[in-house]
Amino acid sequence: MKEEATIAPTNSIKMLRAMVGIGALCGLLIVLTYEGTLPRIERLRAEALQKAIFNVIPGISKTQAFVYQNNKFIPSDKKEADVIYAGYDDQGIFKGVAIPASGQGYADIISILYGYSPENQQVVGFYVLESKETPGLGDKIEKDPTFLNNFSSLDVALDKAKNVIMNKVTAVKRGAKTNAWEIDGITGATISSRAIGNIIENSTNKWVPIIYENRAVFKNKDNE
Amino acid sequence: MKIEQYLKIRIMSNLAINTDQSKSEPSSTDEFIKGLWKENPVFVQVLGMCPVLALSNTAENALAMGMATAFVLLMSNILVSLLRNFIPKEVRIASYILIIATFVTITDYVIQSISVDLHKSLGAFIFLIVVNCLILSRAEAFASKNTVGKSIMDALGMGLGFTLALFSLGAVREVLGNGSIFGIALFPEGFQVWVVMILPAGGFFTLAAWLLIFNMFKQKSTTS
């Protein structure tokens, strides 16, 4: 820099011109790419979510989003907070709801989607939407068959008054599962499997009582 | 291999690179080839180690990251070379970073529009391409002093060399750490995978092994 300074200092107009010119050019390029790719990105995201919903409620062929407002579930096609997705089979029979949930994992926030069947009062499916858990250890929550098997019939039955879940969902050590509301954990991924347990526990505590209470809304959807 | 001998060869090969650059008019093919072997960004220059170690845990991630970096390198080299007489010396680094950041943002959108899963696995590392010293070093050391044609050849060679190096790490780590290549299982049931190979430590092991092999070849070719 010293040598350059002694040779000929560039005047500031030139520097300003270069920076502003490059800035404008770069801005234009980014905006063009954003506009060009946005429709496809949105479609892919919606498809991924749709696939996840089909994944967590077995045997469905149609879904409908519902938003919870003023203590009522209203059909919705917008992406708002507190949206859940009801799933229906070929005959239009209501099979269950898919609920997005998230919470702190070992590395970062884990986002999941799980299926709940008010009829069986069980969690019937589970899918990891986003996680940054350690590859080879924590990311087993996405693919370990024994772990995923927990969520085909996880008990979240309500008490007699139908406003609290009777037994809290808890993650236990691999092989220590004795009750239907326990999650058989993963060896080497204790924190990640406990995190999943906590996320499901918190989310079911919030959603299951209100969904169960309002289950008629989902069933009547096709008659409306 | 004795340490002194190794150091001597490293110094000699560095000298060889330096004299090569000052030699008169290397052809476009030379500019392309040097990135693959003599000045390979990973195995010889040892540049951009963060993405090399972090994203070479599977062959697919390595290939995707290598290609993303090569794309940014190519586009930024073209633009820097085109604007080389327009950018004043005092603001050149800021201009280069601006140009590189623009193409990284574009790459991020493009990857999102290709596949949600791919974007999920590359995640935060895409934005780290901005500070990949390989790209800045090519802009500063080559594109800002050479014609567009030569800069393109340089970027293609360096980009391909970087991708190949990343892939050779990723393939080894995936085969040993996950028992598969591109997600296809290679070994029969019961193969005990070396989990350490897909964890960060495995990246260092594999890189060290490749550097050893690379330098053994170089040593042979210099002595013969």
- Burial of residue B31 (number of CB atoms within 10 Å: 0-12, 13-18, 19+): buried
So what's the pLDDT on residue A8? 62
- pLDDT at A7 exceeding the cut of 60: no
d(C-alpha B143, C-alpha B148), whole Å? 7
What residues of B are in contact with residue A108 (Cβ under 8 Å)?
Answer: none
What residues of B are in contact with residue A41 (Cβ under 8 Å)?
Answer: 109, 112-113
ipTM exceeding 0.90, yes/no: no
What residues of A are in contact with residue B123 (Cβ under 8 Å)?
Answer: 132
d(C-alpha B119, C-alpha B110), whole Å? 10
Q: pLDDT tens, position by position, for chain B (224 residues)? A: 456 666 566 555 555 555 444 445 677 788 888 878 778 888 888 888 888 888 888 888 889 889 999 999 999 999 999 999 888 888 889 999 999 999 999 999 999 898 888 887 776 678 888 888 889 999 999 999 889 999 999 999 999 999 999 999 999 999 988 888 887 888 887 778 888 888 888 999 999 999 999 889 888 888 77
Q: What is the mean pLDDT of residues A205-220?
A: 84
- Calculate the CA B168 to chain-centre distance: 11
Yes or no, beta carbons of B116 and A33 under 8 Å apart: no
Query: H or E segment at A97?
Result: strand A94-104
CA distances from B108 to A187, B64, B149, B204 (A): 35, 12, 26, 27
A135–B contact, CB cutoff 8 A: yes
Q: Are B163 and B44 in contact (CB under 8 A)?
A: no
Interface list for chain B against chain A, based on CB atoms closer than 8 Å: 57, 83, 86-91, 94-95, 98-99, 101-103, 105-106, 109-110, 112-113, 115-117, 120, 123-124, 177-178, 193, 195, 198-199
Q: For chains A and B, what is the number of CB pairs under 8 angstroms?
A: 72
d(C-alpha A33, C-alpha A27), whole Å? 10
Domains of chain B, residue spans: 28-171
So what's the pLDDT on residue B221? 81
Predicted confidence (pLDDT) per residue in A164-180, tens digit: 888 888 888 888 888 88
Predicted confidence (pLDDT) per residue in A134-173, tens digit: 766 788 888 888 898 888 888 888 888 777 888 888 888 8
Measured between CA atoms, how close is A139 to chain B, in angstroms?
11
Predicted confidence (pLDDT) per residue in A30-70, tens digit: 999 999 999 999 899 888 888 888 888 888 888 888 888 77
